[in-house]
Structure 1
Amino acid sequence: MKTRQKLAVLLAAFTLVIFASFMSVAPAKKGGYDWMKARLDASKTYTMAVLEAMPKDAYTYKPNEDQRTFAAQAYHIVYSIDYFHRAFANGGNAQWQPGDEEAMSKAELIDWANKKFDEMNDFILKQETNDRLTAGVMSYLDHNAHHRGQIVTYLRMKGIQPPNYQ
């Protein structure tokens, strides 16, 4: 089985486990997610800075044949924001159909990322606090951090100083 196929199977399994775990937790007390605003804003700001740091002509860079390009990693991050948002809004139900991860330019990816982060952050901040959603948001932030860490490594491999962590 090719590496990409293995990764797709692992991602699907990981996603099912995460959503099964956060869907099985009972809701907690009433309240909002204002306490999470700073963390959500910092995640967006840092991810956007990392996406901006790679020159547009280097978005096709990948460390080896078995890994995604920088553009594909960026696309995966943004698509996953959309995916998690749809899953949160639909009780854990969302289709994973990312499409062509190489289809967008740097400018298009950055515009899309800004839009998706804003939509997701707005959605989260408007929700009532519950354990199920909190667990899902933690998974969403972990997933973003994981792939953002990968592309920070891509920057370093290209000799580019990554933005300071926020």
Structure 2
Amino acid sequence: MRHRSLLIACLVLVFAASGSAQTPGTAADPISGTWKGDLGLSETSRNPFTMELKFDGKGAVSGTVLGPGTFQIKTGSFDAQTGALKLEVGTVNFVFMGTAVSGTATGQVMGNKETGTFRMTKTAADAAEKPAGADPAVFKMGFGEVAGWVGKAADLVPAEKYAYRPVDTVRTFGQLVAHIADAHNYYCARGAGKNVQWSDAVEKGRLDKATVVAKLKQSIEACDGVYAASAAPPLMANIAHTNLHYGNIVTYMRMLGLAPPSSQTP
């Protein structure tokens, strides 16, 4: 049987109808409504999709994924306390797992033994109904999960493989982890109210494992302090960006014959 990759399956979900009917939510319902976003295996290869979701107020989520066809959400759940969102899509056998906060959802999408990332937002009419504030604890949880995976991956990959890259046109593993550290430094400083500019200082510096891992840990520790007290928009962007590049890390590790942290049994 021909192997169906996540990327091929993504093409099935290409958004086709821009005039989809919306399901209005309420101020107390952060999920029900129309969501639009994209997913993919990398930051440069993304495929758009639309979801119509309905939250029962008790934890269950139902709905459809819209594209050239309509795919039913087989099972879905949302934890209003933590923001944890999980959707299992029938037929294409996708699982979306992430967090939904203030009209924005990010996380991982898994299917056919591959893992990518997704991001989606409520459409304008529904987004206007989102809660005015966001809980820093939810942001901190989302960052802690994906940053933990990145940190474990950085530890698992051998030092001699930090120069590995699947093709010449992409970053080496060391550059990829260093880029994530640079992003942490930028977004978390912005989240703390500092008017900093983007810097590639870590990625342009020494890229041996010891140096990169140390810089990554420093960036995570600095971010932890910011996430403990803030839910500023740059902090959500940081979670989304880290998820995107963790998807790259998963691909690199699979090609190196290593199991990524998110696939390992706790």
Q: TM-score, normalised by structure 2?
A: 0.46
AA in 2 matched with 1:142: A
Q: In the TM superposition, what whole-angstrom CA distance separates every residue of 1:51-92 from its partner, at most 9, and x where no partner exists?
A: 11211000000111110100000100011000111222236x
Counterpart check, 1:142 vs 2:142 = no
| 1:1-166 pair list within 5 angstroms | 28-29=132-133, 33-90=136-193, 93-99=195-201, 100-101=203-204, 103-127=206-230, 129=231, 133=232, 135-165=233-263
Which position in structure 2 is the counterpart of 1:13? none
Aligned equivalents of 2:216 and 2:153: distance in 1? 12
Structure number with higher helix proportion: 1
After TM superposition, the runs of 4+ consecutive aligned structure 1 residues lying more than 6 A away are: none
The structural deviation recorded for 1:102 is: 5.6
The structural deviation recorded for 1:143 is: 0.3
Q: Which runs of 5+ in 2 are unaligned?
A: 1-43, 45-130
Aligned equivalents of 1:95 and 1:106: distance in 2? 26
The structural deviation recorded for 1:40 is: 2.7
Counting matched residue pairs gives 135
Q: Give yes or no for contact 1:71–1:101 (8 Å, CA) kept in 2.
A: no
Structure number with higher strand proportion: 2
Q: Give yes or no for contact 1:76–1:101 (8 Å, CA) kept in 2.
A: no
Q: 1:141 to 1:160 in 2, by over 3 A?
A: same
Give % identity: 24
AA in 1 matched with 2:136: Y
Secondary structure of 2:145's counterpart equals helix
AA in 2 matched with 1:147: H
Aligned equivalents of 2:132 and 2:148: distance in 1? 29
Aligned equivalents of 1:40 and 1:97: distance in 2? 21
The structural deviation recorded for 1:160 is: 1.5
Q: TM-score, normalised by structure 1?
A: 0.70
AA in 1 matched with 2:253: L
The structural deviation recorded for 1:98 is: 0.5
Q: Which runs of 5+ in 1 are unaligned?
A: 1-6, 8-26
The structural deviation recorded for 1:32 is: 5.4
Aligned equivalents of 2:138 and 2:248: distance in 1? 28
Q: 1:78 to 1:143 in 2, by over 3 A?
A: same
Q: Give yes or no for contact 2:178–2:212 (8 Å, CA) kept in 1.
A: yes
Q: 1:119 to 1:75 in 2, by over 3 A?
A: same
Q: 1:63 to 1:104 in 2, by over 3 A?
A: same
Q: In the TM superposition, what whole-angstrom CA distance separates every residue of 1:78-113 from its partner, at most 9, and x where no partner exists?
A: 11000111222236x321221443623211211221
- What is the root-mean-square deviation of aligned Cα atoms in Å? 2.6
Higher radius of gyration, 1 or 2: 2
Secondary structure of 2:262's counterpart equals coil
Q: Give yes or no for contact 1:32–1:125 (8 Å, CA) kept in 2.
A: no
Of structures 1 and 2, the one scoring higher in RCO (CA 8 A, sep 6+) is 1
